[in-house]
Amino acid sequence: MRSNPDDRRDNVDRIQENIDNTIQNIHQANEMIKNEDNEKTKQDLKAKNCRREESLNELRSEIKDEAADKKRGYE
């Protein structure tokens, strides 16, 4: 049985979509924080946004690597 070949042609687009979605989630959470009275909920949302920011840094690094690989033709 043959395995499926690694098709990375759309990786940059998928990563960019993940970045865009994460940024949108951060903005939405910030709006929720502004309107939230419950301190625990605010802290939970802030913690989640911190994790999202870390994820963004990793995604941005990954997209740079993928873009470079794409430019080189995935050698």
Provide the 8-state DSSP code for 60.
H
**Structure confidence at residue 63 (pLDDT):** 94
Question: What sign has the CA pseudo-torsion 25, 30, 35, 37?
Answer: positive
In a domain, 5, yes or no: no
Is 30 contained in some domain? yes
* pLDDT digits 0-9 by tens, 8-50: 778 899 999 999 999 999 999 999 999 999 999 999 999 999 9
Does residue 58 lie within any of the structural domains?
yes
| Domain span holding position 34 | 11-70
- Going by pLDDT thresholds of 50, 70 and 90, the confidence category of residue 2 is low
Helix (H, G, I), strand (E, B) or coil at 1: coil
**Any domain includes 3:** no
Task: Give the model's pLDDT for residue 8.
Answer: 76
Cα separation of 35 and 42, whole Å?
9
Q: Is the pTM of this model over 0.85?
A: no
Total of domains in the chain: 1
4 located within any domain: no
| DSSP per-residue codes, 3-36 | PPP---TTHHHHHHHHHHHHHHHHHHHHHHHHH-
Choice between 9 and 59, residue whose per-residue pLDDT is larger: 59
